[in-house]
Structure 1
Amino acid sequence: MTAPLPSPGAPLQHYVSTAPFDPMSVEVMTDEQARIHLASQTRLMWWKFKRHKLALVSGIFLLLLYGMIVIAEFLAPYNLHTRNVDFIHSPPQRVHFFHDGNFVGPFVYGREMKLDMESLKRVYTNNGADVEPLRFFCRGDSYRFWGLIDSNIHLVCPAKDGQMFLLGTDRLGRDVLSRIIYGARISLTIGLIGITISFVLGIVIGGLAGYHGGVFDLLVQRVIEVLQSLPSLPLWMALAAIMPVTWSPILIYFGITIILGMLDWTGLARSVRSKLLALREEDYVLAAQLMGAKSPRIIGRHLVPGFMSHLIATATISIPGMILGETALSFLGLGLRPPITSWGILLTEARSVSVIAFYPWLLFPMIPVILVILAFNFLGDGLRDAADPYR
């Protein structure tokens, strides 16, 4: 029963209800409910992301790949430019564990090469009596780790005076597996650097257009519409073709990265603009303006963090496009150039149909490209679902 209203000037105790307290009327949260209500936004996103098993596996896979490129020289069985002239276009070798019914450990059989005089094709056959055990944490080809430290330690090496080509060799007798590992360093990092350039341009230009509007917004929208109406691949090819052939491989690498980044910002800029058009009318933005905060501070400290999760999901979806762009340009001969090695450059070995028919293992660099693109797409789906507050 509710206590009567106190009269003015009554003692303080008259303001307290004298109705009996019913503990059964109070709803007590369980430990699980309290854990959810007290969790931060980042923790809630992590819990939702873990439910997306495919995205979680893709994230772990990408972390392993990016960790691999740090120690690419150690993981590759051979140096990037090591040639084995006696094993040109050698097919992949299988790893065996048992020989004549006895466990030997991981090994490959030695190979013998004969030249087919009719087709002029090298024919390789395994020598069943030549067992070549693999060595681990061994000394092999010399290399300079990140161009700084001289070393010759590898994770796995062929037997002494033996050969090991798990994914075959190319037209110069170079190990395809080693070149794929080295190429991952270029193909994976070009997406990260390109998306960084794209993010800076997209957030700055889209943020200013959405926050201020007016003539600047109209100009930005028209520029975005023009750039998005142009076919991407021909535009990439035209810009890549104007780079001087006298440039060093490093300059070519940064040139391709800048081209990919400067042409990919349009979609992000539109997304940022639409978000800021809605958020700039919020009360906390008005409070920041009344306190004298400048536009860059309001955009960078108050508006952009409000949808940072959306930006992260957008980045994971944009990176595969840049990797495919570099692969396509390098495959067409307009991207990176030797001695730099990327997955696109490795695929130039398989341009001819006859080469693919005789040496199909030269298409192996396409497998990591497909896996990385799928992994980034699955990761982006998981991050987008986890960042959606309405799910």
Structure 2
Amino acid sequence: MVSAVILMLIALVALFPDFFSTQAPHKTNARESFIPVQGMHLFSEEGLGLHAYQVVGKRNPTTLKMEWRADGDKIIPLGFFVKGYEYSVFGLFNSSRHLIGPKDSSSRERVHFLGTDRLGRDQWSRLAHGTRVSLSIGLVAVMFSIIIGIVLGGISGYYGGWVDMVIQRLIEILQSLPPIPIWMALTASLPRDWSVEQTYFAITIILSLIGWTTLGREVRGRFLALREEDFVTAAKLSGCSQMRIIFRHMLPAFTSHIIATSTLAVPVMIINETFLSFLGLGLRPPAISWGVLLQEAQNLQSVALAPWLLLPGIAVILTVLALNILGDGLRDAADPYN
């Protein structure tokens, strides 16, 4: 139950990242680089009210590093459903409402709940937009894997013979190859001048082309067992076509198992995309994903200066754990022998 609630909240952020953001994700400000995390407070000398303290920076004359600190005398009142930058909601209408932010939208005061990066970009806003990209890549890649696994696994199990032999040898060849080097080689071969959308779909297809083999074998095994069942024989005698028998009668018999398996496959795809983007072989700026955000934390100097750059890693861990727990629960619920 807890994992389902966490995933629902993450899904809301992925669906409406602009609504949850406090600033435009690509907005830069060199004067606000590496601002630390700004917390929210309820109590102040002025009374009760949600607020944050404005941060002021001063350059250290010895290290020449900008040092930021919260100024307790400068309060930024915060409110819900405040006005901010304008954005489009699924291309249907425009809105400028945001879940939380400074009450006075006309002022130059800004809050950075997760700090900023070296270009002064708001980390919370970028994390919200990265959630959409990373989750969607995982879901779309798993969807493609399901389609390929069901079609090839179903054909292999239903027809058998030489068709089964060819498909199973293909699966064995793909499973014998180390997936990570293959993914790295394929993504590294993508042209650098491709747009963000082209790279996005190319990475999704690359991840799904190797990720379907396990499901394909499971579907094949189920079809081998189901094709001798009485309801399949009855469907054949009633004159149903082979495609109708496969997709209308046999496939629904273990749909719950496919759903559980797919839920466990999504975190694997998310980790793979994050891993490739972190190494610079997946999505690249100006695209925003969890892996792209973690590129900022590749060296110890950046982490020492701004440890909050590692926060996208916590989002990855939280999402993967929640999906795994939910997938384990669905798998146990779908197991008739449990």
Bin the TM-score by the shorter chain. over 0.9
What count of residue pairs does the alignment treat as equivalent? Answer: 335
Residue of structure 2 in register with 1:373 after alignment: 320
Q: What residue identity is the alignment partner of 2:292?
A: I
**TM-aligned CA deviation for residue 148 of structure 1:** 5.5
Q: What residue identity is the alignment partner of 2:69?
A: T
**TM-aligned CA deviation for residue 147 of structure 1:** 5.0
Q: CA RMSD in A?
A: 1.4
Q: What residue identity is the alignment partner of 1:319?
A: V
SS of aligned partner of 1:120: coil
Paired residues of 2:113 and 2:124 also in contact (CA < 8 A): yes
**Which residue, 200, 209, 216 being the options, matches 1:269?**
216
Aligned-partner Cα distance in 2 for 1:352–1:164? 26
**TM-aligned CA deviation for residue 120 of structure 1:** 2.3
1:124 is aligned to 2:68: yes
Larger radius of gyration: 1
Aligned-partner Cα distance in 2 for 1:311–1:171? 43
Deviations, residues 308-350 of structure 1 (Å, cap 9, x unaligned): 1110100000011111111111111111122221111000000
**Which residue, 223, 244, 257 being the options, matches 1:297?**
244
Map 1:122-161 to 2 at 5 A.
122-146=66-90, 149-158=93-102, 159=104, 160-161=107-108
Paired residues of 2:196 and 2:287 also in contact (CA < 8 A): yes
Unaligned runs of 5+ in 2: none
**TM-aligned CA deviation for residue 106 of structure 1:** 1.3
Deviations, residues 163-212 of structure 1 (Å, cap 9, x unaligned): 21111100000110010001111011111111111011000100110111
Deviations, residues 66-119 of structure 1 (Å, cap 9, x unaligned): 22222211110111112233221011012111113x533111111211112322
Residue of structure 2 in register with 1:255 after alignment: 202
TM-score by length of 2: 0.95
1:234 is aligned to 2:181: yes
Deviations, residues 209-230 of structure 1 (Å, cap 9, x unaligned): 0111111111111111111111
Deviations, residues 4-31 of structure 1 (Å, cap 9, x unaligned): xxxxxxxxxxxxxxxxxxxxxxxxxxxx
Unaligned runs of 5+ in 1: 1-55
Map 1:172-211 to 2 at 5 A.
172-211=119-158
SS of aligned partner of 2:131: helix
Q: What residue identity is the alignment partner of 1:218?
A: M
Paired residues of 2:30 and 2:118 also in contact (CA < 8 A): no
Residue of structure 2 in register with 1:68 after alignment: 13
Aligned-partner Cα distance in 1 for 2:148–2:84? 45
Q: What residue identity is the alignment partner of 1:134?
A: L
Moved over 4 A (4+): none
Residue of structure 1 in register with 2:26 after alignment: 81
SS of aligned partner of 1:108: strand
Range with bigger deviation, 370-379 or 152-161:
152-161
TM-score by length of 1: 0.83
Residue of structure 2 in register with 1:40 after alignment: none
Q: What residue identity is the alignment partner of 1:352?
A: N
Residue of structure 1 in register with 2:2 after alignment: 57
Q: 1:297 to 1:199 in 2, by over 3 A?
A: same
1:246 is aligned to 2:193: yes
Paired residues of 2:7 and 2:322 also in contact (CA < 8 A): yes
Deviations, residues 239-288 of structure 1 (Å, cap 9, x unaligned): 11222112111111111111111111000000001111111111121222
Aligned-partner Cα distance in 2 for 1:86–1:316? 43
